[in-house]
């Protein structure tokens, strides 16, 4: 994130000496979303003897070294009494384990996290686990990454690696422990060192949230025990070459490392299958020799595919995947196996004539519409929770997630592959990762000689782990700053060695590096509140080029969530005192308050009269702003001059209970920001342009759309119609093209200073395919462009939307029913404005609730926060897991800007 005064980084090596073997690859991360019950004894992991088996340690026992007087040899020996240690999951930071054991109160509520003593995490902690093997005939390796920040490693009382070597969150390590493993119980122990993101090449939280007191020290990916024979298979992957634009053929090249771990020469038989092709080769290996084994269409004709199943992002085609299976055998006995899933697709990202990066997938241009990803603050891994958020991304019509650091485990990318969500991983700013190159005032220590190999090893490990995932379309080797020549060369050498198939980008900001040149991206903000018309200017953060992180800042959650995360006194302060620092916003002095946001809310909508009024105005403001952001970028995507090519909403989600930078909240509840994005990204969409008053149809489908009818109607807040125009025969090309249906007049007689615009788009069959309601003002928001800084452009005059307060109450009837099957439920809701006058119901929100009135989450609505004129009705559907009702009958809570709240049964 751009010049944000905040924390920063550092640390060390990835190869392990002592006669122990290393290689490139990785596993997985973190703990669990919900606290698990404490078990006083960590589970013992039973490791099978089958060649090629890879078994994650199932749990650890952890304890502070300040409370352990015994030697490392004793702690790491089988039978050591760890009865007073804390149980921890297989991927767990220290604090995540302590939270799971009920040591501290809910850190997501109020200021509970601030009460956790930081001194407890300023000393190393022991991680200890037992595993059993039935015999020692197979070789045994310890395989891991995700250590934060460094660790001394012991097995059965012997040190097998030093913290100077096992350092950095992303470096991968494979230790040959065959000589130490015995039949029966074995022990592995890690002495984890404290983390400091400004000093270690690990992970930090910049200004996203209040950083965890332990700074995420721990082990956040799986520690694997691998068994195998004399020859191991490593680094297996498939290099794909797709014929573009025909997509008629694809060539596959299979590569793997065959490694002789024995002290004698052997001949290995390497065989495999992929895409229906089978192949085999004899590979002689000297003692301890490693060879790269390659199978290509030149020697295996079956690796030349005709009519391949191509992988596409969601909305563009199918998410087809292939599987590679390899086996290494010695003297007819299986020695090791490898499996990889991959997709066939082509990614290009050249710079356009304006210098902006333009992505093409399988030869087709696409506007990157995304959001910035945050993991759980304590790096607890919950696959269901992650899957729910990725489903939300697809529901919102987004196609991309950006990961600035905090690069998630394999399962995340497996899910992204399955759901067709593109990903942009890269290194983070504002800590050690950019300490050598960042600007004045930025955090992060300068690099020492020891840091360079750690960074290169980190790049090599992540490249090897991510390259086969079709969802991964780039790696950003810099964020706020591009690397210098030495760092860039190290990264590029590692990427090349790993057969990295995708574009590499020098930074997420408008900077260049010596070899890669210009990033083609901008990081010009904003990060705090600006008005909706800001997005239409082709300058600063407006809709031109590729904006790697940008939004109007605060995203106030729903009232349900606010009451879960803050005390009554804090909620009073939230709406009464704009200048007060908000713990749930950011530790940054720039983003600590809601002063800019609250001033705009009052200036445009009127001063809040209470918490409920504050929240409903916030939802209205967030809807219009997020909608305008995505709509502006969509409208400008096919412009001949300075087109928009990409936009990452900052952020998609938050890792904790937050008041800013999120399209949905921690609990997956949805408000104005969510439904504003969903509306803007409809497949076929009619929208209003704040800059020139044009009514535009954007077609995100591949095929052209014709025979459309667009209608624009203007109303005063009391429902009096002041303008109406219909245009028939509208045709729009596909792939993000837009067409202007009409332009609203500059002035309309009798129009009040606050007014409503209703847009509808109907197909050739007369059915409505898009409806969009705006609340606008004859008095435009005024921006002081000359005083733009890195996080916002000041507003000197606000649009007058206070007239919305005068809208009469509009009664809305609701009926609902639910059908359930196969663990899923669908609730269908019909809303009708039953008013006898002219006043519409504005921003009518529907929440699925249980018998206690609590939201049922996650849920995916067909539409929400709708506007209905008298006599109009709409039918909405909500889909969700039946289990999330927890046995309760469903209900539907309906409320709106000018509609009384009611709850109706939906069983």
680-707 burial by CB neighbour count: b if 16+ within 10 A, else e? bbbebbbbbbbeeebbbbbbbbeeebee
Q: Which of the residues 176, 207, 549, 560 is marked catalytic?
A: 549
| In the predicted structure, residue 47 carries a pLDDT above the cut 50 | yes
Q: How many CB atoms lie within 10 A of CB 348?
A: 15
Mean pLDDT of 859-869: 98
Task: Give the separation between CA 438 and CA 432, rounded to whole angstroms.
Answer: 9
Output DSSP code: residue 221: S
| In the predicted structure, residue 651 carries a pLDDT above the cut 70 | yes
pLDDT of residue 4: 41
Residue 3 confidence class, pLDDT cut points 50, 70, 90: very low
> Average pLDDT over the chain, rounded to whole?
94
Task: Give the separation between CA 777 and CA 795, rounded to whole angstroms.
Answer: 15
Alpha helices (runs of H) in 448-523, residue ranges in sequence order: 451-466, 485-497
Beta bridge partners of 663: none
Alpha helices (runs of H) in 840-896, residue ranges in sequence order: none
> Of all residues in the chain, what percent are helix, strand and coil, respectively (each to 5)?
15, 35, 50
pLDDT of residue 35: 37
Task: Give the separation between CA 244 and CA 308, rounded to whole angstroms.
Answer: 12
Length, in residues, of the chain: 907
pLDDT of residue 832: 98
User: In Å, how far are 48, 388, 789, 790 from 785, measured between CA atoms?
Assistant: 66, 39, 9, 12
Q: Which helix (H) or strand (E) holds 866?
A: strand 866-868
Shortest CA distance to 773 belongs to which of 751, 756, 748? 756
Mean pLDDT of 271-283: 97
Segment 49-73, tens digit of pLDDT: 899 999 999 999 999 999 999 999 9
Mean pLDDT of 28-43: 42
Contacts of 842 (CB under 8 A, 6+ apart): 756, 773, 775, 804, 807, 810, 867, 896, 897, 898
Shortest CA distance to 498 belongs to which of 460, 472, 469? 460
Residue 11 confidence class, pLDDT cut points 50, 70, 90: very low
Which SS3 state, helix, strand or coil, does residue 613 take?
Answer: helix
Shortest CA distance to 560 belongs to which of 664, 435, 705, 683? 664
Segment 612-633, tens digit of pLDDT: 999 999 999 999 999 999 999 9
Segment 800-817, tens digit of pLDDT: 999 999 999 999 999 999
User: In Å, how far are 25, 348, 394 from 342, measured between CA atoms?
Assistant: 16, 18, 21
Shortest CA distance to 820 belongs to which of 885, 773, 867? 885
Residue 1 confidence class, pLDDT cut points 50, 70, 90: low
Task: Give the separation between CA 306 and CA 125, rounded to whole angstroms.
Answer: 55
Residue 216 φ/ψ region, left for φ over 0, alpha for ψ in the -120 to 50 degree band, beta for the rest = left
| In the predicted structure, residue 414 carries a pLDDT above the cut 50 | yes
Task: Give the separation between CA 115 and CA 507, rounded to whole angstroms.
Answer: 37
Alpha helices (runs of H) in 33-134, residue ranges in sequence order: 72-75, 94-100
| In the predicted structure, residue 519 carries a pLDDT above the cut 80 | yes
Shortest CA distance to 600 belongs to which of 614, 582, 580? 614
Task: Give the separation between CA 645 and CA 543, rounded to whole angstroms.
Answer: 9
Task: Give the separation between CA 195 and CA 148, rounded to whole angstroms.
Answer: 6
Task: Give the separation between CA 163 and CA 165, rounded to whole angstroms.
Answer: 5
Task: Give the separation between CA 453 and CA 466, rounded to whole angstroms.
Answer: 20
pLDDT of residue 13: 30
Burial of 735 (0-12, 13-18, 19+ CB in 10 A): middle
pLDDT of residue 443: 86
Going 166 to 145 to 231 to 140, the CA torsion angle's sign is: positive
| In the predicted structure, residue 733 carries a pLDDT above the cut 50 | yes
Task: Kindly compute the dihedral angle of the four CA atoms of residues 599, 605, 609, 610, in this order, to the nearest 10 degrees.
Answer: -70
Which SS3 state, helix, strand or coil, does residue 389 take?
Answer: helix
| In the predicted structure, residue 906 carries a pLDDT above the cut 90 | yes
Mean pLDDT of 592-610: 97
Task: Give the separation between CA 73 and CA 251, rounded to whole angstroms.
Answer: 52
**Both tokens of residue 259?**
């490694």
Helix-helix angle 611-635:568-576, to 10 degrees: 60
User: In Å, how far are 671, 676, 693 from 771, measured between CA atoms?
Assistant: 18, 12, 17
Supply the DSSP string of 510-564, one letter for each residue: S-EETTTEE---B-----S---GGGGGSSSTTSSSEEEEEE--SB----HHHHHH
Segment 453-486, tens digit of pLDDT: 999 999 999 999 999 999 999 999 999 999 999 9
User: In Å, how far are 82, 88, 191, 788, 796 from 783, measured between CA atoms?
Assistant: 63, 52, 55, 9, 6
pLDDT of residue 42: 65
Q: Which of the residues 176, 196, 207, 480 is marked catalytic?
A: 480
Residue 43 confidence class, pLDDT cut points 50, 70, 90: confident
**Both tokens of residue 120?**
């407890």
Task: Give the separation between CA 858 and CA 80, rounded to whole angstroms.
Answer: 44
| In the predicted structure, residue 760 carries a pLDDT above the cut 90 | yes
Phi, psi values for residue 813, rounded to 5°: -90, 150
pTM: predicted TM-score of the whole model, two decimal places: 0.93
Residue 246 confidence class, pLDDT cut points 50, 70, 90: very high
Helix-helix angle 383-395:410-419, to 10 degrees: 30
Strands (E), 754-797: 754-762, 768-777, 782-783, 795-797
What's CA 656's distance to the chain center, in Å?
14
What's CA 458's distance to the chain center, in Å?
20
Task: Give the separation between CA 678 and CA 72, rounded to whole angstroms.
Answer: 55
Which SS3 state, helix, strand or coil, does residue 702 take?
Answer: coil
pLDDT of residue 26: 26
Strands 545-550 and 644-649 come out as parallel
Phi, psi values for residue 857, rounded to 5°: -140, 150
Segment 292-324, tens digit of pLDDT: 999 999 999 999 999 999 999 999 999 999 999
pLDDT of residue 438: 87
234 near 259, Cβ under 8 Å? yes
Alpha helices (runs of H) in 149-223, residue ranges in sequence order: none
Q: Which residue has the tokens 């050739």?
A: 764
Q: Which helix (H) or strand (E) holds 742?
A: strand 737-743
Is 549 annotated in the active site? yes
Residue 41 confidence class, pLDDT cut points 50, 70, 90: low
Q: Which residue has the tokens 């384990």?
A: 97
Shortest CA distance to 243 belongs to which of 346, 322, 323? 346
pLDDT of residue 18: 29
Task: Give the separation between CA 257 and CA 618, rounded to whole angstroms.
Answer: 56
Task: Give the separation between CA 837 and CA 715, rounded to whole angstroms.
Answer: 13
Is 692 annotated in the active site? no
| In the predicted structure, residue 37 carries a pLDDT above the cut 90 | no
Task: Give the separation between CA 502 and CA 237, rounded to whole angstroms.
Answer: 14
């Amino acid at each position: 994130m751009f010049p944000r005064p905040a924390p920063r980084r550092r640390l060390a090596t990835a190869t392990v000496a002592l006669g122990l073997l290393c290689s490139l690859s990785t596993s997985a991360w973190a703990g669990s979303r919900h606290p698990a019950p404490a078990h006083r004894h960590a589970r013992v992991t039973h490791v099978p003897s089958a060649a090629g088996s890879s078994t994650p340690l199932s749990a650890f026992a952890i304890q502070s070294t300040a409370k352990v007087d015994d030697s490392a040899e004793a702690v790491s020996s089988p039978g050591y009494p760890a009865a007073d240690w804390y149980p921890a999951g297989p991927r767990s930071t220290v604090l995540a384990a302590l939270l799971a054991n009920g040591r501290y109160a809910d850190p997501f509520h109020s200021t509970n996290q601030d009460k956790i003593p930081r001194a407890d995490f300023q000393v190393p902690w022991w991680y200890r686990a037992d595993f059993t093997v039935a015999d020692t005939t197979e070789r045994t390796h310890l395989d891991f990454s995700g250590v934060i920040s460094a660790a001394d490693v012991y097995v059965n009382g012997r040190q097998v690696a030093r913290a100077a070597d096992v350092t950095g969150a992303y470096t991968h390590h494979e230790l040959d422990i065959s000589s130490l493993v015995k039949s029966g119980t074995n022990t592995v122990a890690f002495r984890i060192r404290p983390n400091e993101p400004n000093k270690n090449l690990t992970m930090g939280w910049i200004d996203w949230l209040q950083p965890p007191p332990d700074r995420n020290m721990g082990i956040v990916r799986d520690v694997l025990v691998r068994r195998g024979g004399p020859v191991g298979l490593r680094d297996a992957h498939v290099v794909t070459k797709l014929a573009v634009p025909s997509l008629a053929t694809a060539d596959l090249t299979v590569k793997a490392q065959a490694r002789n771990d024995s002290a004698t020469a052997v001949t290995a038989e390497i065989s495999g299958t992929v895409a229906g092709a089978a192949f085999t080769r004899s590979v002689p290996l000297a003692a301890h020799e490693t060879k790269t084994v390659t199978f290509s269409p030149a020697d295996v004709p079956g690796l030349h595919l005709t009519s391949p199943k191509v992988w596409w992002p969601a909305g563009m085609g199918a998410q087809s995947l292939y599987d590679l299976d390899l086996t290494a055998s010695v003297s007819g006995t299986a020695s090791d196996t490898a499996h990889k899933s991959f997709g066939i697709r082509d990614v290009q990202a050249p710079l356009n004539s304006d210098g902006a990066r333009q992505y093409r997938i399988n030869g087709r241009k696409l506007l990157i519409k995304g959001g910035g990803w945050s993991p759980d603050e304590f790096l607890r891994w919950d696959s269901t929770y992650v899957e729910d958020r990725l489903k939300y991304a697809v529901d919102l019509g987004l196609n991309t997630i950006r990961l600035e650091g905090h690069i998630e485990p394999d399962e995340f990318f497996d899910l992204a592959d399955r759901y067709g969500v593109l990903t942009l991983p890269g290194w983070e700013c504002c800590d050690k990762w950019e300490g050598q190159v960042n600007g004045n005032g930025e955090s992060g220590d300068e690099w020492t000689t020891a840091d360079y190999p750690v960074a290169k090893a980190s790049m090599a490990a992540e490249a090897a782990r991510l390259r086969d995932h079709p969802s991964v379309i780039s790696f950003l080797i810099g964020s706020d700053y591009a690397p210098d020549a030495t760092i860039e060369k190290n990264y590029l050498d590692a990427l090349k060695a790993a057969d990295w198939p995708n574009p590499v980008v020098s930074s997420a900001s408008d900077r260049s590096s010596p070899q890669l040149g210009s990033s083609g991206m901008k990081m010009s903000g904003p990060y705090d509140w600006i008005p909706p018309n800001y997005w239409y200017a082709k300058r600063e953060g407006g809709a031109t080029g590729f904006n790697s992180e940008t939004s109007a800042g605060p995203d106030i959650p729903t009232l349900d969530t606010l009451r879960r995360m803050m005390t009554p006194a804090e909620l009073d302060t939230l709406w009464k005192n704009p200048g007060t620092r908000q713990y749930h916003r950011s530790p940054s002095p720039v983003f600590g308050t809601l002063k800019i946001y609250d001033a705009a809310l009052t200036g445009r909508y009127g001063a809040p009269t209470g918490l409920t009024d504050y929240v409903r105005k916030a939802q209205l403001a967030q809807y219009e702003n997020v909608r305008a952001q995505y709509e502006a970028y969509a409208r400008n995507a096919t412009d001949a001059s300075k087109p928009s090519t990409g936009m990452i909403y900052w952020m998609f989600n938050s890792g904790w209970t937050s008041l800013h930078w999120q399209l949905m909240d921690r609990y997956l509840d949805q408000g104005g920001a969510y439904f504003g994005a969903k509306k803007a990204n409809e497949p076929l969409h009619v929208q209003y342009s704040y800059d020139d008053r044009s009514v535009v149809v954007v077609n995100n489908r591949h095929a052209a759309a014709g025979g459309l009818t667009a209608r624009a109607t203007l109303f005063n807040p009391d429902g009096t119609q002041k303008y109406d125009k219909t245009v028939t025969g509208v045709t729009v090309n596909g792939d993000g093209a837009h067409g202007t249906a009409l332009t609203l007049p500059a002035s309309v007689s009798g129009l009040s200073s606050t007014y409503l615009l209703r847009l509808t788009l109907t197909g050739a069959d007369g059915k409505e395919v898009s409806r969009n309601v705006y609340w606008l003002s004859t008095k435009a928001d005024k921006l002081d462009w000359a005083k733009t800084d890195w996080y916002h452009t000041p507003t000197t005059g606000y649009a007058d939307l206070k007239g919305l307060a005068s809208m009469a109450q509009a009664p809305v009837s609701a009926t609902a029913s639910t059908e359930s099957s196969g663990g899923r439920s669908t609730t269908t809701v019909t809303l009708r404005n039953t008013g006898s006058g002219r006043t519409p119901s504005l921003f009518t929100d529907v929440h699925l609730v249980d018998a206690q009135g609590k939201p049922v989450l996650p849920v995916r609505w067909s539409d929400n926060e709708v506007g209905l004129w008298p006599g109009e009705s709409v039918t909405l559907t909500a889909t969700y897991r039946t289990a999330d009702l927890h046995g309760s009958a469903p209900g539907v809570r309906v409320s709106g800007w000018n509609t009384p709240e009611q709850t109706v049964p939906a069983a």
